Structure 1
Amino acid sequence: MFKKILIANRGEIACRVIKTARRMGILTVAVYSDADRDALHVEMADESVHIGPAPASESYLVADKIIAACKETGAEAVHPGYGFLSERASFCAALEKEGIVFIGPKPKAIEAMGDKIESKKFANAAKVSTVPGYLGIIDDADHAERIAGEIGYPVMIKASAGGGGKGMRIAWSKDEVRDGFERARSEAKSSFGDDRVFIEKFVVDPRHIEIQVLADAHGNVVYLGERECSIQRRNQKVVEEAPSPFLDEATRKAMGEQSVALAKAVDYQSAGTVEFIVDRDRNFYFLEMNTRLQVEHPVTELVTAIDLVEQMIRVAAGEKLPLKQADIRLNGWAIESRLYAEDPYRNFLPSIGRLTRYRPPREGRTEKSVVRNDTGVFEGAEISMYYDPMIAKLCTWAPTRLEAIEAMGEALDGFAVDGIEHNMPFLSALMKHPRWREGRLSTGFIAEEYPDGFAPVTPDEDQTALLSAIALSCSLIESNRRERYGDRLRPAAAPLRDSWVVKLGANYLPVTLLESVVTIPFETDMQIGGKTVTVASDWRPGDSVWVGTIGDRKLTAQIRTVLNGLRIDWQGISVRAKVFTPRQAELDKLMPVKLPPDTSKLLLCPMPGLVVAIAVAEGQEVKAGETLAIVEAMKMENVLRAERDLVIGKINAGPGESLAVDAVIMEFA
């Protein structure tokens, strides 16, 4: 077994590999760029080596620097994680030339499966079902348009060397093919250094289901069940689960056996994933094989109790798999939610900045469930514009799917993150969405269910009562602390008025207290909406999470102090709350409402990013839908289009400029 390995990656996956290596008694080496000097993976590793500037093209993607770090530290093997150099055959070959072991498949398998065009040819030869498409080189947009017309719309345009949703576009018409071809090729060149793309038929209402395989160097290959990855946004996975709520045992077996056949055909070694698109009739078609560890591997680990990173290391060290196919059992249900630095209220645009608060839920096993959080950040860490926007992968396990969903909802509601915008509200709301809970999924789920974008959930009557009870309890506890604790810092009882009004958003709800004192821990009877409930919690001022009971319901909600009140986040609801006496409530209703400023004549930068192109000139007349500018952030190009017919006034930014969120790119006449 290896004594020391180097992790050629960063963030949560580097931390994940370090945890398993530490448990196995293997020393670890981290590499880091200028932007990651104070990163968590650097702190966790036994040694660390600086490899260059912040851009990945000058640090994490430079194979020679990784090899030099191995020689400097004496690392015997390299685990590549995912992304960066993980699927680059030349990197694997360069390591082998230097006598350093690559913890992953051999160059032959990476070359065969890492290129989407070549992988489909291998899949056809191995009798794996594939999607109709054109696998040749596409010369230009005209050529792409002709091919799409022959295949039939809609079509999927994909980067041949791509992954993670980069360099991928869906086109429903010839105009969309031309634009999609250029965007996909540009993103592919920027992200992978390879601008080749191919086109295939897009399956309507598809489900994205993938099979995890594990193979050794002795000819043994097993499949570890499937993962459903259908909740996607811009072709990037957001929520995954294992197993799939859609597959039956016969389909699972057929997909697994085809995946094993493909792995054997390319002499695959290590952990790998065979991805399929599945239609409504359970017909499945090969998409690609990822010759690396997948982001969503934790859900497979939770339902199989197999540490995939450990098996990758053992296979790379020459050991045989300790498992036969008959040994593989899927136990219970696991769900993974990807916490991204993205603003769900602004079409999930990237967000960067410092994590002023980062308080994940407690990990571990409870009586009914398991919580796991794979992360590479900490409170005070900075989310950079140079890398992927993922903050953490929150996972839950339970005996059944609905129990796993409930555990996930509670864990999300107890996960406090401040300093940046993030997609937690969306994930929390999703856990209560009827279609998600029923398992009626497709890769178009988000676009279909949120056609106008995601907005805070509006609380119904029952939810309003619950949130009002939380707000009043916090207000009473805060008042008790101010008025009674003094310097003694010990509990005391305080007399109370019985009539209150809680303002949630623009709504006012009367609440009557049936107790005359506040006790610590808090436990008080309240009458809300004609119902009497007991509210109990050990919340303290300053706590970011309120945990307690209201009647017979256990609730977990996030609490943030705002001007003259609180903001409560729960199950996708985000609402400001103020507690008034009845007279104060009457006066508050008379206060004027402040209107937001008019920005209709400005194009604002929707996220921190780099201006790639300005597509118009001052004085130019522009029609609705035409491109105004292209801004790149976190490895994705975002096309900003005109929302109406207009005339360009002043242009304030040019290509190559880095802009903050809401910076004015141009003004309209």
Structure 2
Amino acid sequence: MFKKILIANRGEIACRVIKTAKQMGIQTVAIYSDADRNALHVRMADEAVHIGPAPANESYIVIDKVMAAIKETGAEAVHPGYGFLSENAKFAEALEAAGVAFIGPPKGAIEAMGDKITSKKLAQEAGVSTVPGYMGLIEDAEDAVKISNEVGYPVMIKASAGGGGKGMRIAWNDDEAREGFQSSKNEAASSFGDDRIFIEKFVTQPRHIEIQVLCDSHGNGIYLGERECSIQRRNQKVIEEAPSPFLDEETRKAMGEQAVALAQAVDYTSAGTVEFIVDGDRNFYFLEMNTRLQVEHPVTELITGVDLVEQMIRIANGEVLQLSQDEIKLNGWAMESRLYAEDPYRNFLPSIGRLTRYRPPEEVPVGHSIVRNDTGVYEGGEISMYYDPMIAKLCTWGPDRMSAIEGMRAALDSFEVEGIGHNLPFLSAVMDHPKFVSGDITTAFIAEEYEGGFEGAVLEDALLRRIAASCAAMHRVAEIRRTRISGRMDNHERKVGDDWNVALQGQSMDLRIEARRGGATVHFEDDTSMEVVSDWTPGDQLARVDVDGLPLVMKVGKVSGGFRIRCRGADLKVHVRTPRQAELAAKMPEKQPPDTSKMLLCPMPGLVVKMNVEVGDEVQEGQALCTIEAMKMENILRAEKQGTVSVVNAGPGDSLAVDEIIMEFE
């Protein structure tokens, strides 16, 4: 077995590989850029080597720098993680020439299947059903428009070397094909160092289901079930689960056998994933093969009990695969939620900054549930603009799908993240969405169910009453604390009343609290009551409450006259007042937000790549105004209505903060 391996990656996947390597008794080497000097993967590794400036194209994807780190540390093998150099045949070739094992497939398999254009041609030659498209190289935007018309709109414009949703655009007309081609090309060059683009038919109402395979160098190959990856935004997976709620055993077996046959046709070794589009009749079509470990591999590990990283290391060491197809059993259900540094209330635009608070739920079995959190960050660390915005992958396992979902709901509510924008509220909202709960999902789920963007979850009355009762009891505890601190110890019960008004989500509830040691009975106007039990104390930012025997987890912040409560995807201001205070509050005018209707504000921290207009230009609704790049993703900002540009405050190359005024209109 190898004595030392280098992880040619960063973030949570580098940490993930280090954990398994340590369990196997293997020493680890991390590499890091200027931006990652204090990163978690650097802290976890036995050794760490600095490889250059923050941009990936000056550090993590520079083969010579990685090879120098290998030579310096004497690493015998390299695990590439995903992204960066994981599917780079030149890197695999350089390792082979240096006598260093690549913990991944051979160069020939990467060339054959890692390139989306080549893999589709090979699949077609092998008689595999594929989505219609144009596999040749596309010269320019006009060529892209011509091809798109031949294939037929809508089309998917994709980077040949792409992955993780980068370099992908859907175009429904000629204008979108032109813009999408250029944006995809730019993102592909920036993220992968390869700007080749291809175009295929965009299949509407599809499910994205993928098969995990393992193949050794002795001719053995198996599949480890499937992963449902249909919950996507901008072609970036957000929530994955295993198994799929849609497949039957017959389809699973057919897809698995085809995936293994395809892998073995190109002498594939290591872990790999064959992705399919599946229609409503369970017909499946080959999309591509990812010749690496997938981001969402933990859900497969949770339902099979197989450590995929360990298997990759053993296969790279020349060992025979010790698992047979008959031994692979799917046990229970697993969910994965990708926690991203992005603001769901601003159309999911990237967010950067310092994690002033980062408290994931505990990774321990709870009843018949398991919580797992793969992460590469820590409290006090920075989320950089240079890399992928993923903070963590939160996973839950349960004996069935509903228990896995319920476990995820509780885990998301318990996850504390402050200092940056993040998508925890959105993930929670999806877990409660009836269509998701039913399993009736397609890749269009987010676009269809959140067409106008995400504005927070609207909670049902039953949950609002539980929150209201909890907040009233908590507020009473806080009021008693304040009375004691003020020195009036002897008669504080007389100072803190029992009658309160709770206002939240547009509702007003009058209630009375009957307090006792360790809890309270909260009585409502309709003569119903709730038993509230909690050990919450003022200042705690997480409240675990038992309401009528049901658990409730809330993130708690302080606002004037009450709490900021975040729970199940909702962000609520909960005002707890005495009856007299409530009476006066009802007479107060509401504060109106400032008028920004004649301004274009920067929606996220980023770099101005292109300005499409100048002072005096008349713009139409939907017209592109400028392009902002953040975390290697290009975002085109468009006019919301007709107007004339009166002021332009920024230009190409300028770095902008959130809500900075880019331009103004007459």
Q: TM-score, normalised on structure 2?
A: 0.97
40-49 or 181-190, larger mean C-alpha shift: 181-190
Q: Does 1:526 align with 2:522?
A: yes
Aligned sequence identity (%): 64
How far apart are residue 241 of structure 1 and its match? 0.2
Change in 2 beyond 3 A, CA 1:331/1:75: same
Aligned equivalents of 1:358, 1:542: Cα separation in 2: 17
Contact 1:465/1:528 (CA < 8 Å) preserved in 2? no
| Secondary structure at 1:161 match in 2 | strand
Aligned equivalents of 1:493, 1:276: Cα separation in 2: 66
Amino acid at match of 2:497: R
Aligned equivalents of 1:486, 1:296: Cα separation in 2: 53
How far apart are residue 562 of structure 1 and its match? 2.7
Aligned equivalents of 1:562, 1:217: Cα separation in 2: 61
Change in 2 beyond 3 A, CA 1:564/1:37: farther
Who is 1:619 aligned against? 616
| Secondary structure at 2:637 match in 1 | strand
How far apart are residue 486 of structure 1 and its match? 8.3
Unaligned ranges ≥5, structure 2: none
How far apart are residue 506 of structure 1 and its match? 4.2
Pairs within 5 Å for 1:243-642: 243-484=243-484, 494=493, 496-515=496-515, 519=517, 522-530=518-526, 531-642=528-639
How far apart are residue 464 of structure 1 and its match? 2.1
| Secondary structure at 2:604 match in 1 | coil
How far apart are residue 642 of structure 1 and its match? 0.7
Change in 2 beyond 3 A, CA 1:529/1:122: farther
Who is 2:19 aligned against? 19
Contact 1:137/1:197 (CA < 8 Å) preserved in 2? yes
Amino acid at match of 1:627: A
393-402 or 544-553, larger mean C-alpha shift: 544-553
Who is 2:9 aligned against? 9
Amino acid at match of 1:645: Q
| Secondary structure at 2:274 match in 1 | strand
Contact 1:126/1:261 (CA < 8 Å) preserved in 2? no
Instruction: List structure 1 segments (4+ residues) > 6 angstroms apart after TM superposition.
Output: none
Post-superposition Cα deviations, 1:545-575, rounded to whole Å, max 9, x if no partner, equal 1112111321111111234421111111110
Post-superposition Cα deviations, 1:426-473, rounded to whole Å, max 9, x if no partner, equal 101111100000001111100100110111222332222111112112
Q: Could you tell me which of 659, 664, 668 is aligned with 2:661? A: 664
Amino acid at match of 1:618: V
How far apart are residue 529 of structure 1 and its match? 4.7
Who is 1:157 aligned against? 157
How far apart are residue 494 of structure 1 and its match? 4.3
Amino acid at match of 2:398: A
Contact 1:333/1:398 (CA < 8 Å) preserved in 2? yes
How far apart are residue 503 of structure 1 and its match? 2.0
Aligned equivalents of 1:404, 1:379: Cα separation in 2: 27
Aligned equivalents of 1:441, 1:507: Cα separation in 2: 32
Amino acid at match of 1:526: V
Pairs within 5 Å for 1:200-211: 200-211=200-211
Pairs within 5 Å for 1:58-69: 58-69=58-69
Amino acid at match of 1:538: D
Post-superposition Cα deviations, 1:401-449, rounded to whole Å, max 9, x if no partner, equal 0110011001101111110110000101111100000001111100100
| Secondary structure at 1:162 match in 2 | strand
Aligned equivalents of 2:4, 2:194: Cα separation in 1: 33
Post-superposition Cα deviations, 1:46-84, rounded to whole Å, max 9, x if no partner, equal 111111111111111111111111111111111110111
Contact 1:343/1:349 (CA < 8 Å) preserved in 2? yes
Q: Could you tell me which of 648, 651, 657 is aligned with 1:651? A: 648
Contact 2:483/2:492 (CA < 8 Å) preserved in 1? no
412-421 or 151-160, larger mean C-alpha shift: 151-160
223-232 or 116-125, larger mean C-alpha shift: 116-125
Root mean square deviation of aligned Cα: 1.6
Who is 2:38 aligned against? 38
Change in 2 beyond 3 A, CA 1:486/1:326: farther
How far apart are residue 390 of structure 1 and its match? 0.4
Aligned equivalents of 1:112, 1:510: Cα separation in 2: 68
| Secondary structure at 1:169 match in 2 | strand
Aligned equivalents of 1:145, 1:626: Cα separation in 2: 19
Change in 2 beyond 3 A, CA 1:327/1:477: same
Aligned equivalents of 1:610, 1:225: Cα separation in 2: 42
Amino acid at match of 1:542: G
Amino acid at match of 2:510: P
